[in-house]
Amino acid sequence: MMTETEIQKPEPAAHARASIKDVAIHAGVSAQTVSRVANRATNVRPDTRDKVLASMKALGYRPNSAARNLKSGRFRSIGVVTFSLTTLGNERTLDAVAEAASTAGYTTTLLPVLDPTQLDVAGAFGRLEEQAVDGIILIMSAEVESPEKLQLTAGLPLVIVDSDGSQPYNIVDTDQEQGARLATRHLIELGHKDILHVSGPAISFSAKRRAEAYLHTMKAAGLDAPPVLRGDWTAASGVAVGRQIAAGEHPPTAVFAANDQMALGIMHAFHERGWQVPGDVSVVGFDDAEDAAAYWPALTTIHQNFGEVGKRATALLLSMIDGKAAPKNKLIPTDLVVRSSTGPVRGQLSS
């Protein structure tokens, strides 16, 4: 039981906001005039505007975006679906998306999918559409097993970053094939013949496309490609695979890792084994991670333009939201960044 003398603040949410009406009353004008001032309409007399501005300040007025959204039918926010920010270059793409969106006056709403299999459940994906967003960017990195299920977002504009390209959606992605070709050719041009590829998880479209391009490029050069090894994108898996390579009977003279983190781990394993990089074996990565130049040795890698991918994806989505037609399936080219982890073939390794 509570005593009646204790006055309890009744509002559950402590911040009771002043509405446009309150300001109107306070300033002795109509709500419409307050609205005009808030929206910087020109047809308000200066002294009226000042009066309203003063009242807004006095009452701590801030427009209620829910009401604005309701009127406009727009949320001015784009949803980004991710599985994890901490792996891969997802956060770099997200950063670019957030920046591009912000520049366009949009906010970015994170719609994390805690469990990838969730997406395969109709209901779960359907929930996305209830979110206060005008469109969705799916940074999936291919963890979705059956993208057909994405049909469920039929109602909202959707742009996919990273996909196998077989889906009827708008896709913006790094040109994986071109990048993998660049990496493989670089090694071939250095004279390497025994080039091993360490791929990403089987489920990943990017990994698959990089591996395929590697295979094609080897074949085109008349080289035999040894069986592709597989990591899970993490540096730890790179260490494991690297040790496996280092323990093998026929060590390659060069390794093309499907991402920089695995390349880092692979080099770690090679150092453990006492191999010189690139003296004994050359290593190329993929991504151009922020720290790649500080790895030991500085990593030769394929520069992915995550910023451009994020920017393009956002621009595309925004134009879809505006109902404009837009070009689909934009592929962003990569660049080879030669640093110190690759070199010409030298002697034969003593195993």
**Per-residue tokens: 99:** 């920046």
Contact 306, 332 (CB under 8 A): no
- Residue selected from 10, 12, 73, 155 as contacting DNA according to rule CB under 7 A: 73
Q: Is 26 in the site for DNA (CB under 7 A)?
A: no
What number of H helices and E strands is found in the chain?
11, 12
The sign of the torsion formed by the CA atoms of 97, 102, 106, 109 equals positive
Give min distance, CB of 61 to DNA, in A. 7
In the region spanning residues 59 to 118, those forming contacts with a second copy, defined by CB under 8 A, are 60, 62-67, 69-70, 73-75, 77, 84-86, 91-92, 94-95, 98-99, 102-103, 107-112, 114
User: CA–CA separation, 144 vs 2, rounded Å?
Assistant: 54
User: CA–CA separation, 200 vs 260, rounded Å?
Assistant: 11
Q: Is 68 in the site for DNA (CB under 7 A)?
A: yes
Q: Is 155 in the site for a second copy (CB under 8 A)?
A: yes
- CB neighbours of residue 246 within 10 Å: 19
The sign of the torsion formed by the CA atoms of 42, 47, 51, 57 equals positive
The count of residues in the chain is 351
Q: Which is nearer to a second copy, 293 or 349 (CB)?
A: 293
- Residue selected from 23, 183, 239, 318 as contacting a second copy according to rule CB under 8 A: 239
- Residue selected from 50, 145, 189, 322 as contacting a second copy according to rule CB under 8 A: 322
Question: Residue 203: helix, strand or coil by DSSP?
Answer: coil
Residues forming the site for a second copy (CB under 8 A): 11-15, 17, 60, 62-67, 69-70, 73-75, 77, 84-86, 91-92, 94-95, 98-99, 102-103, 107-112, 114, 126, 129-132, 134, 154-157, 234-236, 238-239, 261, 264-265, 267-268, 271, 290-291, 293-296, 298, 320-323
